[in-house]
Chains A and B, each alone.
Chain A
Amino acid sequence: MERLKHLPTLRIAARQPITLRFNGRTLAGCAGDTVATLLYGSGERIFGRSLKYHRPRGLYSLDGECSNAMMTIDGMPNLNAELTPAREGMRVEPQNVMGSLKWDLLGGLDHLAFAMPAGFFYKTLHKPSWLWPRAVKGIRRAAGLGVLHPEARFDQRCDAIYPNVDVCVVGGGPAGLSAALAAAEEGLRVALLEARPRLGGFCDYRVRADAQGKPLHQWAAALADQVRARDNIRVFTDAPVVGAYPDGRVAAFQRGGPEDAFDLRYIEITAAGAVVATGCIERPLLFAHNDRPGVMQMGCAHRLLHTYGIRPAADAVFSVAHDLGLEAAIDLHDQGVTVHCVADARTDGQDPLLIAALEQRGIPLRRGWVAHTAHGRSRLRAVTLGTPAGTFRQRIACELLVASAGLTPLTGLVTMAGGQVKYDPRTGFFLPVRLPPNMQACGRLRGLHDPAALAADGTLAGLRAAEGLGCRPQRKIAAAEAALAAAPGAPRGSKWLAAPGKGAKTFICFDEDGTLKHLHQAMAQGFDVPELIKRFTAIGTGPGQGGIPGHNLPLLVAAGQASPASDPMPTTVRPPLVAAPIAAYAGGRHDMAKRTPMHDAQVAAGGRMERVGEWFRARRFGTDPGAAAEIMAVRTNVGLLDASTLGKFRVFGPDALKALQRVYVGDMARTRPFRTTYAAMCNEDGCVIDDGVVIRTGDNDFYITTSTGRAAQTVEWFRYHTRYDGWDYHIVNLTDAHGVINIAGPNARKVLEAMTADDVANTAFPFAACRDLTLAGGIPARAMRLGFVGELSYELHVPASCMETAWRMAEAAGAPFGIAPFGLEAQNTLRMEKGHVILGSESEQRTVLHDLGLGFLWCRTKPEAKTVGALALRDTADQPGRLKLVGFKMETPGDGPPRDGSPVVNGRIRGYVCTARHSHALGEPVGMALVEEELARGGTRLGIYEDGCGGRLRYGTVAPMPFYDPEGTRMRI
């Protein structure tokens, strides 16, 4: 179709052609088109099929307020063609179509609509019970939107920005532009967000003259130019806002063009003040078959013509209720569309200039008349207009019906941020009555319409926002107030709801195929609140986010209620305000993980790295899931473990000991210089939250280690539990400062001897001691003799930057013995054989110190202690009914260990397996379980249920721990 090329409001490059593939055919449009306008301009009228009834649907609005134009574009389903810029070579497919767009195989469902009343899904096909699983498959196939193919891949460039501004203005129409300018003139940093590609709002496509005789589009463009010229206003176009929050944040996402560095950008603005100037959308006109292709909103027809140069049809009928409709009729006429008739639901109140203009063009205006029925199936053929009650009717053949019941302000951001709206009987709108602190609302959102009023109101809002941030523009405020008072106020709005009748084909909600009849059914069943009706009928729960039914639903509910005095209540608006791609939220996020200094060395050695909390750690080296070779190396020879993720802290200062006494349950006064003391921290409930070693390194100086998972919270924990005390102590987090390697195995000393000239003989460096050594090359290392894996072992804490050198040194020193690195899997088995617990594996939220057999770590008699958890430890010391940690062996060892987490079932569930592994040292599976106290006695038979065991329990027997080297001689050699 040939485009109009000489309109001053044209926003397309009519001479830059673009082609795309739609449903297998090549269609042409031009640069600046959306997919929807390109299709419409190419003559396409059916855009898709509706969710339930497979009714043909066409272009209705241009701002994505309903799912009519949802399509699969380049393999990505559910994109709204109205919001997607057309690009060369795009592949566009319609959705929910069985057969062809025009001849849909399920089109007959429309005739079965009577069988699908409101609440259909809640009530029908549930009995007998075998029916539903079958029925649901059929329903799923027939209903729905696009299909995501598993092989589809999307290579969108997604990122995120988090700008800080003083004032965030939402909406780039006349009010928003004026607000941004006013705030910027006060020297503030301003952000302006506009959902459409261009600034100017509803003036961008209007040729009508303002009071000074200047066409509105020129006036708006001049305002936009002023905004763009200011370097303290950041303008974001194509950036729909998804939410505004009580903390002053405004979230939006932006669609990028080929020249941008992104396709999709999440924008989260931190603003001290906000101005909401989101304007209005249209309130749909309700009549029979109001969803037929060929019925569209007044703004849609107007913008198709003026913005995109497309004559929407050869001839048209208007059924509107707002001056903008009259204006659109005049403009369509002036561009060669035959306008048969304009029905205006209002009996009076029209702009006399517009009435004169209609008369001058010979377009009949029927005051108080509305559309009753649209005729035709896949295309509109005719429309029946009539008086409200239908007493007088007239059928007019036409291609296009421009239908609109008026406007509805977009107040979602106001209520989302904590403000309130109330029904205003004059305008018929829900208008803001209470705004959140630091938020202003202005423009059409407040019911205003006249351009001068919008500009003055916007200026005022911008100035008030500035005033809230400490600016003092009092004189400007007074001037703006005077200008606003002098301009026309909010016009009276149309109250027209719907033509009489059952409304079986009068659609309130296109997305969910929700009709007036559904609404009446819901109300007949006693639903009387819009919130509940919305959920029962699904009206307003579709991808359009309630854009189409949002205003009509509460008005209809109020009108249908017994008490005529009750105010309509809108449903709650929640973010995202417009359908937002999840990629927009996820896009800019980097996966931030920690790596130890030996990360690369371990990867090179075949380490299988896994995320463990915030860290990457080596699970195993090689492919054996049980890591048998690594385990045997430690038991018989020597192994090397990266334990750098341990929390490490220096605690010092005059009150350091007091702080340690507070958080550790043991008596820290008994710690001796350069001796390791195993110590535990509990929470107030006596549950173990952390264990590690404490080493006294000076009078008031301690070096402590914590478990990996607790490292990030340790400083916070200390400070929290001493927050009332005012103690003078300090903590330095050295977790990342020191890498840690554990050299473990009978040959560990020989390896260490090769690494240092210091005396590391058993006499000079006995078990549980700590020594500051110097490794070859002058590397300082704090070494500890610990026994977590049950063999002779040295834990070396080395400055992180030297760690890789130290690791290679250990590898070289151990090479004569065949030293091998071992990972978490091997460590897990090794320590389990020793009965050593890992918090989180052998403990859960309820596990107190006593349950783990670690009660000896608690010192009851600490002088003047107020120990976190001590009172609970006292109360639970002999408490019956607790789960206790036990060791167990299997009755049939050949079947291997039970899976971790398997429940222990003796009559009923009485515990669970924590960790169970094959013990290479013992040649049989062993494990640890938390079981009820009565089962904890040695020799008790435990029934273990495993997934897929088919009801046949496996049996284990409670066995003494440690399983391996119970005397602990091997770690003391």
Chain B
Amino acid sequence: MALNLNCPICGPRSGYEFRFGGEDKGPRPAEEGATTALWLAYAHLNRNVAGVQREWWCHKDGCGTWFRVCRDTVTNCEVPTVDTL
């Protein structure tokens, strides 16, 4: 579905220039003592909200920056950044 994103370096661009990097799940868990379940949750389990979620995108065809945006998964539109997610 058609999408526009605001690259923090390059400004608004077509979604086709970007690569999706998944939901923003925070830093990697420590390996020491990590269980299989913990790894699974980090690597594969997503919240999949119907609504606003914060996620990573890479401007692969442009400046190459990885950045976070908030996107409404219902309308597929970028929304202003929400800090409380």
Asked, given contacts A246-B1, A247-B14, A270-B14, whether A872 binds B26 with beta carbons under 8 Å apart, the answer is no
Q: Is the CB of B3 within 8 A of A720?
A: no
CA distance A725 to B27 in the complex (A): 8
Interface flag for A878 (CB, 8 Å): no
Q: Which residues of A contact B36 (CB under 8 A)?
A: 871, 875
Instruction: Enumerate B4-30 residues with CB–CB distance to A below 8 Å.
Output: 4, 14-15, 19, 21, 26-30
Partner of B4, one of A248, A719, A723, A867: A248
Q: Mark A665-696, 1 if CB is under 8 A from B, else 0.
A: 00000000000000000001100000000000
CB neighbours (8 Å) of B21 from chain A are 720, 723
Task: Please tell me if A865 contacts chain B, counting CB pairs below 8 Å.
Answer: yes
Interface presence of A856 (CB below 8 A): no
Question: Given A720-B21, A723-B66, A875-B36, does the pair A247, B4 have CB atoms closer than 8 Å?
Answer: yes
B27 to chain A: which residues have CB within 8 Å? 724-725
B16 to A, closest residue via Cβ: A247
Which interface residue of B4, B29, B39, B76 has the most chain A CB atoms within 10 A?
B39
Interface assignment of A716: CB less than 8 Å from any CB of chain B: yes
A867-B14 Cα distance, complex, nearest whole Å: 33
Return chain A residues, CB-CB under 8 Å to B39.
684, 871-872, 875
Chain A residues contacting B44 (CB-CB under 8 Å) are 684
Within the complex, which residue of B15, B26, B34, B60 is in contact with A871, where a contact is CB–CB below 8 Å?
B34
- Which of A247, A437, A684 is most buried by chain B, counting CB atoms within 10 A of its CB? A247
Contacts across chains A and B counted by CB atoms under 8 Å: 58
B64 proximal to A (CB < 8 A): yes
Closest to B22 in A: A720
Assess whether A866 is in contact with B58, with CB atoms less than 8 Å apart.
no
Number of B interface residues at 8 Å Cβ cutoff, please give it.
28
What is the minimal beta-carbon distance from B60 to any residue of chain A, in angstroms?
Answer: 6
Check A866 against B30 for contact (C-beta < 8 Å): yes
Complex alpha-carbon distance, A865 and B29, angstroms: 11
Contacts of A720 in B (CB 8 A): 21, 56, 58, 66
Chain A nearest CB, measured from B70 CB (Å): 16
Beta-carbon nearest neighbor of B43 in chain A: A684
CA distance in complex: A716, B60 (Å): 7
Known: A246-B77, A247-B15, A871-B34. A724 touches B4 (CB 8 A): no
In the complex, whether A381 has a CB less than 8 A from a CB of chain B is no
Q: Given that A246-B1, A246-B2 are contacting pairs, would A870 and B31 also be in contact in the complex, using a CB cutoff of 8 Å? A: yes
CB <8 Å contact, B31 and A871 = yes
The complex places the Cα of A437 from the Cα of B75 at a distance, in Å, of 11
Binary interface encoding of chain A residues 861-881 relative to chain B, with 1 for a CB under 8 A from any of its CBs, else 0: 000011100111001000000
Most buried by B among A245, A246, A270: A246
Roughly how many angstroms separate A723 CA and B65 CA in the complex, as a whole number? 10
Chain B residues contacting A715 (CB-CB under 8 Å) are 64
B43 touches A685 (CB 8 A): yes
CB distance from B36 to the nearest CB of A (A): 5
Residues of B within 8 A of A248 (CB): 4
- In the bound complex, what is the Cα–Cα distance between A249 and B4 (angstroms)? 10
Closest to B26 in A: A724
Task: Quote the shortest CB–CB distance from B57 to chain A (angstroms).
Answer: 11
Hey, which chain A residues are within 8 Å of B29, CB to CB?
Answer: 866
Instruction: Check if B2 sits within 8 Å of A719, measured CB to CB.
Output: no
- What are the residues of chain A within 8 A of B64 when measuring CB–CB? 715-716, 719
What residues of chain A lie closer than 8 Å to B34, measured between beta carbons?
A: 871
Alpha-carbon separation in the docked complex, A246 to B2 (Å): 6
Within the complex, what minimum Cβ distance (angstroms) separates A827 from chain B? 30
**Would you give the 0/1 interface string for A235-276, flagging 1 where the beta carbon is closer than 8 Å to chain B?**
000000000011111000000000000000000001000000
- The reply to whether B58 and A246 contact each other, CB–CB distance below 8 Å, is no
A551 to B56, CA, bound (A): 43
- Report B32-64 CB contacts with A as 1/0, cut-off 8 Å: 001010010011100000000000101010001
Q: How far is the CB of A649 from chain B (nearest CB, A)?
A: 13
A724 vs B24: C-alpha distance when bound (angstroms): 10
Which residues of the other chain, A, contact B58 by a CB distance below 8 angstroms? 716, 719-720
CB within 8 A of B2: which of A245, A723, A866, A870?
A245
Residues of A near B15 (CB, < 8 A) are 247
Task: A716 to B77: give the CA distance in the assembly, Å.
Answer: 24
B59 CB to nearest chain A CB (Å) = 10
In chain A, residues 704-723, which have Cβ atoms closer than 8 Å to a Cβ of chain B? 715-716, 719-720, 723
Chain B residue with Cβ nearest A725: B27
A501 and B76 CA atoms in complex are apart in Å by 47
With known contacts A247-B14, A249-B2, A684-B43, A716–B19 Cβ distance under 8 A: yes
Tell me which residues across on chain B come within 8 A of A684, comparing CB atoms: 39, 42-44
Chain B residues lying within 8 Å of A685, measured Cβ to Cβ, are 43
CB neighbours of B60 from chain A (8 A): 716
Complex: A953 Cα to B64 Cα, angstroms: 51
Closest residue of chain A to B4 (Cβ to Cβ) is A247
In the complex, the chain B residue whose C-beta lies closest to that of A865 is B31
Chain B residue nearest to A418 (CB atoms) is: B75
Instruction: Report the separation of the CA atoms of residues A723 and B68 in the bound assembly, to the nearest whole angstrom.
Output: 10
- Cα distance A467–B56 when bound, in Å? 32
User: Does B66 contact A724, Cβ atoms closer than 8 Å?
Assistant: no
**B14 — which chain A residues lie within 8 A by C-beta?**
247, 249, 270
CB 8 Å contact bits of A939-953 with B (1 = contact, 0 = none): 000000000000000
Contact across chains for A724 and B2 when beta carbons are under 8 A apart? no
Closest A residue by C-beta to B38: A871
Contact across chains for A719 and B66 when beta carbons are under 8 A apart: yes
CA distance A34 to B58 in the complex (A): 49
Instruction: Give the CA-CA distance A872 to B85 in the complex, in Å.
Output: 29
- A724 and B77 contacting across the interface, CB-CB below 8 Å: no
- Please, how many angstroms separate the alpha-carbon atoms of A720 and B20 in the complex? 11
Q: Which residue of chain B has its CB nearest to the CB of A683?
A: B43
Bound CA–CA A600/B45 (angstroms) = 49
One digit per residue, 1 when the CB lies within 8 angstroms of any chain B CB and 0 when it does not, for chain A 843-866 equals 000000000000000000000011
Name the A residues within 8 Å of B1 (CB-CB): 246
With a cutoff of 8 Å between Cβ atoms, the chain B residues found around residue A716 in the complex are: 19, 58, 60, 64, 66
Nearest-neighbour CB distance to chain A for B83, whole angstroms, equals: 16
Q: How far is the CB of B10 from chain A (nearest CB, A)?
A: 14
Contacts known (A249-B2, A720-B56); A867 close to B31, Cβ less than 8 A: yes
Cα–Cα, bound, A715→B56 (Å): 16
- Give the chain B neighbours of A872 by CB distance below 8 A: 39, 43
Q: Which chain B residue has the least Cβ–Cβ distance from A875?
A: B36
A685 to B4, CA, bound (A): 31
Q: Mark A418-443, 1 if CB is under 8 A from B, else 0.
A: 10000000000000000001000000
Please name all residues of chain A whose beta carbon is closer than 8 Å to the beta carbon of B30 when the two chains form the complex.
866
Give chain B nearest CB distance to A936 CB in angstroms: 24
Decide: A866 and B56 in contact? CB cutoff 8 A: no
Q: How far is the CB of A820 from chain B (nearest CB, A)?
A: 39
Mark each residue of chain A from 150 to 167: 1 if its CB lies under 8 Å from any CB of chain B, else 0: 000000000000000000
Q: Cβ of A870: which chain B residues have Cβ within 8 Å of it? A: 31
Chain A residues within 8 Å of B26, by CB: 724
- Binary interface encoding of chain A residues 889-927 relative to chain B, with 1 for a CB under 8 A from any of its CBs, else 0: 000000000000000000000000000000000000000
Docked complex Cα distance between A249 and B14 (Å): 9
**CA of A867 to CA of B32 in the docked complex: distance in angstroms?**
11
Q: Is the CB of B56 within 8 A of A246?
A: no
Instruction: List the B residue with the shortest CB-CB distance to A862.
Output: B31
- Bound-state Cα–Cα, A684 to B31, Å: 12
A247 touches B3 (CB 8 A): yes
Of all chain A residues, which has the CB nearest B56?
A723
- Taking a contact as CB atoms closer than 8 A, the residue among B19, B31, B66, B76 that contacts A246 in the complex is B76
Bound state CA distance, A246 and B14, in angstroms?
11
Closest residue on chain A to residue B27 by CB atoms: A724
| Other A-B pairs, 10, CB within 8 Å; known A684-B44, A716-B64, A720-B56 | A246-B2, A247-B3, A684-B43, A716-B66, A719-B58, A720-B66, A723-B66, A866-B30, A866-B31, A871-B31
Supply 16 A–B pairs (Cβ within 8 Å), ascending by A: A246-B2, A246-B3, A246-B75, A246-B77, A247-B15, A437-B77, A716-B19, A716-B58, A719-B58, A720-B58, A724-B26, A866-B28, A866-B29, A871-B34, A872-B39, A875-B36
Closest 3 CB pairs of A and B: A247-B2, A245-B2, A871-B39
